[in-house]
A and B are shown apart, each in its own frame.
Chain A
């Protein structure tokens, strides 16, 4: 495993109670790259994200963030080490205002050259959040909540961003906007693992694509290979 990966993990196994969900999943993402994690419903994509973020404690395997072993870290320590989650269903703090959502997650002086994001940086990406900065986050639209979930992850000064279905339930125009933002984050040097149902969106953005099925990696290739050969994805994702 090359040590220059932003995030790499090997032999990741995860469990919900007695059921074994992830089987020896190994992946790595280089700095400034976007890796799309695709698979059918129930394939284990969200489990994988939650296991990486430390929310699922029943897991084994080795997780290296920038070469540092974070396998045994608590969720808060994982976040402080530079791995941030944009969770499925957004899960913004509903009773807090937009500003407060950003304030509670902020890492003001990130170590080792990680980029500190100010409120103004976030509002630069999402001008609509600035207009709504004193609104209770729970009363905003789904698209605005998604922007806030991304902003909230960014103020933790991550190296690697885990995005779990960021386009779920959003209008096409907002989906395009989110896509543009993800592209800008890559340009800023962030690595992203993107879980998506929306195949076209994922293939357009991603550098690499990994397909999982029933908790195992079944295919792995540059996004261009999947774009050139749509049948290859269909094999794993199509409804049989």
Chain B
């Protein structure tokens, strides 16, 4: 029972991590911007969902996602694109943004953790052959898989996705072929920010929302991306699963060493396979 619950919790946490990390990874892969405000967008999504819960749970999640997508788009247009190609400015700029967002959240939603009830239909448990699973966590795993398939189809099966991949291959040549790379960047940034917001909103019922959630989640997203490979969708899924397992079991079995256990695989991967499980060798 302990193990089965541990696995389910790991998968549910991995599902949340995937929604957070996949946007970070796509933004980094396409735009070469390490958006350190990504964790803050996740937290913002969680807070917005707690305030919008009057619309029903699904409505609150959608509102949070849409709000973060719009906000991310504005950030990209007004600030982040001005920092193109300047890594230090990007790190400082997006980290500064993360602080500002976190501070404004503190102002609006106060410093107390806010619990978000799971939607009524998923509050119960589902039994399979005598083993009982919390329905909400199962739903999270299913949602993450749906998101994975949806993003995969968008990137691999549509012209928009092919244009994104073309811009990753050779940005200058993509522009010379008439591809509006600047608009693609905004689209991808909106998508990533929206997914982070949805992730935060969906995480609220299992983690609640509290100050510091952003800086707790951001390093985990970085870990996922380093393990899975930058810009790789499959890598983001595999990395989320691994980090979800390591984090959950680390907390359960060796709480004192949770961070060592978490960051050790990253050190090993960086030393042995710096491009990550599914990353492409740098050109």
Question: Chain A residues in contact with chain B, CB under 8 A?
Answer: 53-55, 74-76, 78-80, 84-85, 87, 91, 93-96, 100-101, 103-105, 107, 152-153, 156
Provide the residues of chain A in CB contact with B179, threshold 8 Å: 76, 104-105
- Which of A75, A85, A156 has the most chain B CB atoms closer than 10 A to its own CB? A75
Provide the residues of chain B in CB contact with A95, threshold 8 Å: 165, 168-169
Q: Tell yes or no: B272 within 8 A of A by CB.
A: no
Please report whether the interface of chain B is mostly helix, strand, loop or mixed according to DSSP: helix
A–B pairs, 5, beta carbons within 8 Å:
A75-B175, A76-B178, A76-B180, A93-B165, A93-B169
Provide the residues of chain B in CB contact with A54, threshold 8 Å: 175-176
Provide the residues of chain A in CB contact with B172, threshold 8 Å: 55, 75
Beyond A103-B159, A104-B159, A104-B163, is A93–B178 a contact (Cβ under 8 Å)? no
Smallest CB–CB gap between B232 and chain A, Å? 12
Q: Tell me whether B173 and A87 are in contact (CB under 8 A).
A: yes
A152 partner, pick from B162, B165, B177, B181, beta carbons under 8 A:
B177
Smallest CB–CB gap between A27 and chain B, Å? 20
- Give the distance in Å from the alpha carbon of A78 to the alpha carbon of B177 in the complex: 9
- Give the distance in Å from the alpha carbon of A76 to the alpha carbon of B178 in the complex: 4
Q: Tell me whether B176 and A93 are in contact (CB under 8 A).
A: no
Number of interface residues of B (CB under 8 A): 18
- How many residue-residue contacts, CB under 8 A, span A and B? 64
Q: Tell me whether B178 and A107 are in contact (CB under 8 A).
A: yes
Provide the residues of chain A in CB contact with B173, threshold 8 Å: 87, 91, 93
The residues in B between 176 and 207 inclusive whose CB is less than 8 angstroms from any CB of A are 176-181
- Which of A80, A85, A104, A105 has the most chain B CB atoms closer than 10 A to its own CB? A104
Smallest CB–CB gap between A178 and chain B, Å? 19
Smallest CB–CB gap between A116 and chain B, Å? 13
Task: A76-B175, A152-B177 are known; give 4 further A-B pairs, CB within 8 A.
Answer: A80-B178, A84-B177, A96-B169, A104-B179
- Give the distance in Å from the alpha carbon of A78 to the alpha carbon of B180 in the complex: 12
Q: Tell yes or no: B62 within 8 A of A by CB.
A: no
Provide the residues of chain A in CB contact with B177, threshold 8 Å: 79, 84, 104-105, 152-153, 156
- Which of B170, B172, B178, B181 has the most chain A CB atoms closer than 10 A to its own CB? B178
Q: Tell me whether A79 and B176 are in contact (CB under 8 A).
A: yes
Beyond A76-B181, A100-B162, A104-B163, is A94–B176 a contact (Cβ under 8 Å)? no
Question: Chain B residues in contact with chain A, CB under 8 A?
Answer: 159, 162-163, 165-166, 168-170, 172-181
- Give the distance in Å from the alpha carbon of A55 to the alpha carbon of B181 in the complex: 14
Provide the residues of chain B in CB contact with A85, threshold 8 Å: 176
Q: Tell me whether B166 and A104 are in contact (CB under 8 A).
A: yes
Closest 4 CB pairs of A and B: A79-B178, A105-B177, A75-B175, A100-B162
Smallest CB–CB gap between A115 and chain B, Å? 16
Provide the residues of chain A in CB contact with B159, threshold 8 Å: 103-104
Smallest CB–CB gap between A35 and chain B, Å? 20
Q: Tell me whether A96 and B165 are in contact (CB under 8 A).
A: yes
Residue of A nearest to B162 (CB): A100
Q: Tell me whether A53 and B176 are in contact (CB under 8 A).
A: yes
- Give the distance in Å from the alpha carbon of A172 to the alpha carbon of B176 in the complex: 29
- Give the distance in Å from the alpha carbon of A84 to the alpha carbon of B179 in the complex: 12
Provide the residues of chain B in CB contact with A96, threshold 8 Å: 162, 165-166, 169
Smallest CB–CB gap between B27 and chain A, Å? 18
Residue of B nearest to A74 (CB): B175
Smallest CB–CB gap between B180 and chain A, Å? 6
A156 partner, pick from B165, B168, B178, beta carbons under 8 A:
B178
- Give the distance in Å from the alpha carbon of A78 to the alpha carbon of B162 in the complex: 21
Provide the residues of chain A in CB contact with B181, threshold 8 Å: 76
Provide the residues of chain B in CB contact with A78, threshold 8 Å: 176
Provide the residues of chain B in CB contact with A93, threshold 8 Å: 165-166, 169-170, 173-174
B162 partner, pick from A75, A80, A103, beta carbons under 8 A:
A103
Beyond A93-B169, A93-B170, is A104–B162 a contact (Cβ under 8 Å)? yes
- Give the distance in Å from the alpha carbon of A93 to the alpha carbon of B159 in the complex: 14
Q: Tell me whether B176 and A75 are in contact (CB under 8 A).
A: yes
Residue of B nearest to A83 (CB): B176
Residue of A nearest to B181 (CB): A76
Provide the residues of chain B in CB contact with A152, threshold 8 Å: 177
Provide the residues of chain B in CB contact with A156, threshold 8 Å: 177-178
- Give the distance in Å from the alpha carbon of A100 to the alpha carbon of B173 in the complex: 14
- Which of B162, B165, B168 has the most chain A CB atoms closer than 10 A to its own CB? B162
Smallest CB–CB gap between B49 and chain A, Å? 36
Provide the residues of chain B in CB contact with A75, threshold 8 Å: 172, 175-176
